[in-house]
């Protein structure tokens, strides 16, 4: 009986796989060689079982909030801050739409086939002077004049009252002329009364909103530009630059602000509201400069500033690209308080008679007229309430920003 030979693919050891188990290695006696199935040294991880779940978990992680997103989230927790912000937004809308709310100039009109907006004269008078309809009507617009021209029409403001002059009888159909003096109490045609010469108080308050916001934003913007620049230079360079700027700040703080403003306005031949804005901005930058200097002194030694210098960034780039954005948050608080202070100072100047000359709608001018005649209580109550609410709103916004940006106050409110 013949024995069968085992079938092997290649008896040479060179051709044997590295992980093949030789005959007899499993403890069995030497016998016919068995071909063992090759086992892989490791199993390759499945892409569907390991990689995709990792990607899915990475996608499910919440994204980190940015700094300003976190500030807004914390600011919203204060109800007074939200109410103040809504009030300021409402004032801004009133200031922009003031010619369409109260006035005697058409918002838009058609005259002799051409369209125009005479109400823009409330923003800048030369814009109105060039209009054909203004030259034809001599800037005194009435519905009757438009009815006499065929094909002409006009869209009028909500309240037919002018902030700079008295409205006469029948300028608007069936509307009497504005009373003056003590007779100008709040009535159906003058909701908040009139001043001593018959000018409607509501119209002055509406257009005075534009003046108040302009003074606040522009003067504080000038102060912020000066203060941030000088503070950044003092804090970044240090040395003699810091000494000179610090001494200048101290000198400016030693001079009473109101006295300095009056002295500067006395130099101008005929002061306007723009001169008032510039003077308020030039004299109100010291607190912003001191705070910006302190922030630059703190941030100029941080790691990212050192890294920016190491890669060859210029000093201007390091200051305004790397340090300034991280130093802005604390400076926003005095800027907000500065807007409130500028509005208060402008109205104080108008109250004292040093404000912009007429024609100019100012809340302080109404207060001054009411102070001379206390029987006209509406000249004190309504302008005073407008000044009080506006200044308080900006102060509440400043306090809300301070709580939202200051880490110490944030920890205390958790």
β partners of residue 194:
200
**What's the number of domains the chain is made of?**
2
Question: Over the chain (414 residues), what is each successive 10-residue block's mean pLDDT?
Answer: 46 46 44 46 46 48 66 88 94 94 93 89 87 85 86 92 91 90 90 92 93 92 93 91 93 85 80 85 91 91 88 88 85 89 88 75 88 87 94 92 73 51
Residue 19 lies in a domain: no
| Of residues 122, 76, 149, the one with CA closest to residue 397 | 76
Q: Last residue of a domain, which of 122, 152, 183? A: 183
Cα(201)–Cα(187) distance, integer angstroms: 11
Could you say which of 183, 218, 241 is where a domain stops?
A: 183
CA of 82: how far to CAs of 74, 209, 401, 411, 413, in Å? 11, 20, 11, 21, 17
Going 302 to 305 to 307 to 310, the CA torsion angle's sign is: negative
Look at residues 149, 183, 217 and tell me which one is the last residue of a structural domain.
183
Query: Are residues 169 and 277 located together in one domain of the fold?
Result: no
Are both 217 and 167 inside the same structural domain? no
Looking at the structure, do residues 408 and 285 belong to the same domain, yes or no?
yes
Q: Do 253 and 122 belong together in one domain?
A: no
Q: Residue 387: what pLDDT? A: 93
pTM, whole model, 2 decimals? 0.76
Residues 112, 254 share a domain: no
pLDDT of residue 257: 80
Domain coverage including residue 334? 201-412
Q: Report which of 209, 131, 257 is spatially closest to residue 382, judged by C-alpha positions.
A: 209
Same domain, 231 and 135: no
CA angle 11, 12, 14 (to 5 degrees): 140
4 lies in a domain?
no
* Residue 285 pLDDT: 92
One domain for residues 150 and 211: no
Within 13 Å and on the Cβ side, how many CA atoms surround 79? 0
Instruction: Mark whether 145 and 277 lie in a shared domain.
Output: no
CATH number at residue 347: 1.10.3720.10
pLDDT of residue 134: 86
The reported pLDDT for the residue numbered 18 is 46
The secondary structure of the chain, three-state, reads CCCCCCCCCCCCHHHCCCCCCCCCCCCCCCCCCCCCCCCCCCCCCCHHHHHHHHHHHHHHCCCCCCHHHHHHHHHCCCHHHHHHHHHHHHHHHHHHCHHHHECCCCCEEEECCEEECHHHHHCCHHHHHCCHHHHHHCCCCCHHHHHHCCCCEEECCCECCCCCCCCCCCCCCCCCCCCCHHHCCCCCCCCCCECCCCCEHHHHHHHHHHHHHHHHHHHHHHHHHHHHHHHHHHHHHCHHHHHHHHHHHHHHHHCCHHHHHHHHHHHCCCCCHHHHHHHHHHHCCHHHHHHHHHHHHHHCCCHHHHHHHHCCCCHHHHHHHHHHHHHHHHHHHHHHHHHHHHHHHHHHHHHHCCCCCCCCCCHHHHHHHHHHCCCCCHHHHHHHHHHHHHHHHHHHHHHHHHHHHCHHHHHHCC
pLDDT confidence of residue 408: 60
Report the distance separating Cα 300 and Cα 271, nearest Å: 42
Same domain? 237 vs 357: yes
283 and 240 inside one domain: yes
Identify the pLDDT of residue 395: 93
Closest among 350, 15, 409 to 204, alpha carbons compared: 350
In this prediction, residue 13 carries a pLDDT of 44
Tell me whether residue 193 is in a domain.
no
Whether residues 130 and 206 fall in one domain:
no
């Amino acid at each position: 009986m013949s024995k069968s030979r085992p079938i092997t693919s290649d008896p040479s050891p060179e051709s044997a796989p590295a992980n093949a188990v030789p005959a007899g290695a499993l403890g069995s006696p030497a016998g016919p060689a068995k071909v063992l199935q090759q086992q892989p040294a490791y199993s390759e991880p499945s892409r569907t079982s390991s990689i995709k779940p990792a990607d899915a978990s990475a996608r499910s992680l919440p994204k980190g909030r940015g700094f300003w997103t976190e500030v807004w989230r914390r600011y919203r927790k204060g109800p007074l801050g939200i109410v103040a912000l809504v009030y300021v937004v409402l004032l801004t809308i009133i200031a922009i739409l003031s010619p369409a709310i109260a006035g005697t100039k058409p918002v838009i009109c058609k005259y002799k086939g051409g369209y125009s907006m005479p109400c823009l004269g409330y923003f800048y008078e030369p814009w109105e002077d060039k209009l054909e309809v203004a030259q034809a009507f001599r800037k005194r617009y009435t519905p009757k004049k438009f009815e006499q021209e065929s094909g002409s029409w006009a869209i009028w403001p909500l309240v037919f009252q002018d902030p700079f002059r008295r409205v006469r009888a029948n300028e608007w159909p069936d509307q009497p002329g504005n009373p003056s003096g003590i007779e100008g109490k709040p009535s159906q045609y003058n909701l908040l009364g009139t001043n001593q010469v018959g000018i409607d108080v509501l119209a002055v308050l509406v257009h005075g909103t534009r003046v108040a916001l302009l003074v606040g934003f522009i003067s504080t913007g000038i102060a912020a530009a000066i203060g941030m620049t000088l503070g950044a230079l003092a804090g970044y360079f240090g040395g003699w630059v810091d000494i000179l700027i610090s001494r200048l700040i101290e000198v400016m703080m030693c001079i009473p602000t109101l006295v300095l403003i009056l002295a500067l306005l006395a130099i101008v031949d005929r002061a306007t509201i723009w001169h008032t804005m510039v003077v308020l901005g030039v004299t109100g930058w010291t607190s912003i400069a001191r705070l910006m200097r302190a922030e630059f002194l703190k941030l100029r030694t941080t790691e990212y500033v050192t890294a920016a210098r190491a890669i060859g960034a210029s000093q201007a780039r390091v200051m305004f690209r790397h340090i300034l954005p991280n130093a802005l948050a604390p400076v926003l608080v005095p800027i907000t308080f500065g807007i409130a202070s500028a509005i208060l100072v402008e109205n104080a100047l108008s109250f004292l008679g040093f404000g912009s000359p007429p024609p100019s709608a100012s809340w302080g001018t109404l207060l001054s007229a009411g102070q001379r005649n206390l029987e006209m209580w509406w000249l004190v109550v309504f302008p005073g309430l407008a000044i009080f609410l506006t200044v308080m709103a900006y102060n509440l916004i400043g306090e809300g920003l301070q709580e939202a940006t200051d880490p110490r106050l944030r920890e205390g409110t958790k």
